[in-house]
Amino acid sequence: MLPAPLMLAIKHVFSQGLRDGCLLAGGTALSGFYAGHRRSDDMDLFTATPAAQQAAMLAIKSLERIGAKVDVRMRTAQFFQCICALQGHPFSATSVLDVNLFRVADTKVLKGGVRVVTLEALLKMKAATLVSRASEKDLFDLLWMMDHFETTDISGLIKSGNEIDGGLDAESVLLSLSGAIFREDACGFALDGSSPRQVFERIGDFRKLLIKEISGFLRAQPLTPLGELVKSVRRIEKKLG
């Protein structure tokens, strides 16, 4: 579930004549239109052409017409970022020119004209974050997604991420996960009633299982469907609880 002001802002932006060359992705797309599993205060837009990037930037700036404050923080030919506030609710809005994403990601148009990437495309994007940042929210999102792609194993996850980031492979994911530092105070985003401590422990257990599976993959051992890893995380939680 997204905050009402953020949803209003998203619908307004997509009502400004944006067409096939602009889509909504990231945690807001996942939580707001599929999962409803965590809080998200970002509007992450991706565009296919320079013209679409310019249109997205103007659409974001047009939020001022419905009473939003728009503070532009960065603007280049390929990247636009601002901090907004609408009806007292702050959120960030970014637009990124990413031609490759439109080659590998399917989309669908929802009621109100909002174009979002499919769950399959979100899986590719979230898999790619395992080498770009591997944050608390990324692991939490992947945990939710494994319930819906439960037959996917580590090999499939790496292949999915490689479609977004051509440099992603098992070794780079293993290195990134091994070095990732999670903070309990950054885990207060779950909407299922879980405490920051519970989320922190859950994603920590998930990381350990992912590292184990990747190590097995690199040694050419049999792989476990990731849906089974999610069940393992839940079994660990029950024992600890």
> Which CATH number does the domain housing residue 109 bear?
3.10.450.620
Number of domains present in the structure of the chain: 2
41: which 2 tokens?
């205060």
Burial of 95 from C-beta contacts in 10 A (0-12 / 13-18 / 19+): buried
The SS3 call for residue 236 is helix
Do 93 and 157 share a domain, yes or no? Answer: no
What is the chain's pLDDT, residue by residue, as a tens digit (241 residues)? 799 999 999 999 999 988 789 999 999 999 999 999 999 999 999 999 999 999 999 999 999 999 999 999 999 999 999 999 999 999 999 999 999 999 999 999 997 889 999 999 999 999 999 999 999 999 999 999 988 887 788 999 999 999 999 999 999 999 999 999 999 999 999 999 999 999 999 999 999 999 999 998 888 866 667 777 677 777 767 666 6
| DSSP letters spanning 212-232 | HHHHHHHTTPPPPPHHHHHHH
∠ at Cα 49 (43, 50), nearest 5°? 90
Please tell me whether residues 107 and 140 are part of one structural domain.
no
Of 57, 84, 117, the position where a domain reaches its end is: 117
Q: For residue 15, which amino acid is it?
A: S
Based on the fold, state whether residues 113 and 136 are members of the same structural domain.
no
Does this model's pTM top 0.85? My answer is yes
The CA-based angle 30-35-37, given to 5 degrees, is: 105
The neighbouring-strand residues paired with 217 are none
The reply to whether 97 and 10 lie within a common domain is: yes
Task: Report pLDDT for 230.
Answer: 72
Looking at 70, 96, 117, the residue that finishes a domain is 117
Q: Which domain holds residue 143?
A: 122-240
The predicted pLDDT at position 35 comes to 95
> How far, in Å, CA of 213 to CA of 219, rounded?
10
Q: What is the pLDDT of residue 225?
A: 74
Of 59, 233, 222, residue with least CA distance to 140:
233
What is the predicted pLDDT for the residue at 197? 98
The secondary structure of 114-151 as a DSSP string is -EEE-HHHHHHHHHHHHHHT--HHHHHHHHHHHTTSTT
